[in-house]
Amino acid sequence: MAKRPIAAACVAIGGGAVGLAVATAGAEVTGCTTHQCDQSSYDWWPTPDGRPGPDGGFMQDEDTYVTNALNQRWLDYPGNTTVRIWFPPEVAGRTADLPIVAVGTDDAPNSDAAVSLGDNYAPAGGQLAIFNLLNTFPEPKMVEGHRVGGGVWVSISSCASYFVHVQVHFARVDSTEAGGAGDGSRGAGADAGIGGAD
């Protein structure tokens, strides 16, 4: 009986059935009673030189941004976390497609070691990949000392912990749009208000 308020709190913060199951399973199970599902967030910035590296996202090709290479370490994605992913400056003024998100049970789920251990990854949807914001700026901006072209905020509302890989494709800007005589739809909600931009 005493565990019902905890279960209600987990459901309220997005844990749903996962939170309810954890709260009623007993003290030996991690979950809401251990603060595993407390809300958290962090920023993932583009690499300073635009090249692949373990310390930031980069353009895989001229039209595709990735948070990390498939064979690199994926981003931490603990329960109830939002990752504020910032795009490189070269995508400013372009239109972003919906991101493709994958979650894994290992920090390098595409590695030989992960395969031998039985770890895996899969496309994410529903409560594992909620988009809070998808935006590009008309021109690059400085945000907290980083030059960026926009971003996407991706959240997990489950209490489970994963590792995440995000890919975003950008439509090419044709010469009409680049010259300023297009239809005005220069970005996905261009400059509509990613927090912290000046």
Cα–Cα distance measured from residue 198 to residue 184, given in angstroms and rounded to the nearest whole number: 21
Cα–Cα distance measured from residue 7 to residue 101, given in angstroms and rounded to the nearest whole number: 28
Name the token pair of 148: 């960026």
Tokens 């005493």 found at:
2
Q: Of residues 17 and 38, which shows the higher confidence score?
A: 38
Domain ranges (residues) in the chain: 1-38, 39-174
SS3 content of the chain, % helix, strand, coil (to 5): 20, 35, 45
Name the token pair of 19: 């939170």
Quick: pLDDT tens for 63-98: 999 999 988 899 999 999 999 999 999 999 999 999
Over 80: is that where the pLDDT of 109 sits? yes
First to last CA, the chain: 50
Q: Is 154 left (phi over 0), alpha (psi -120 to 50) or beta?
A: beta
Quick: pLDDT tens for 23-61: 333 344 455 566 768 899 999 999 988 888 788 999 999
pTM of the model: 0.72
Cα–Cα distance measured from residue 138 to residue 42, given in angstroms and rounded to the nearest whole number: 24
Name the token pair of 146: 């980083």
What DSSP letter does each residue of 151-187 carry, written as one string?
EEEEE--SSS-EEEEEEEEBPPPPHHHHTT-S-S--S
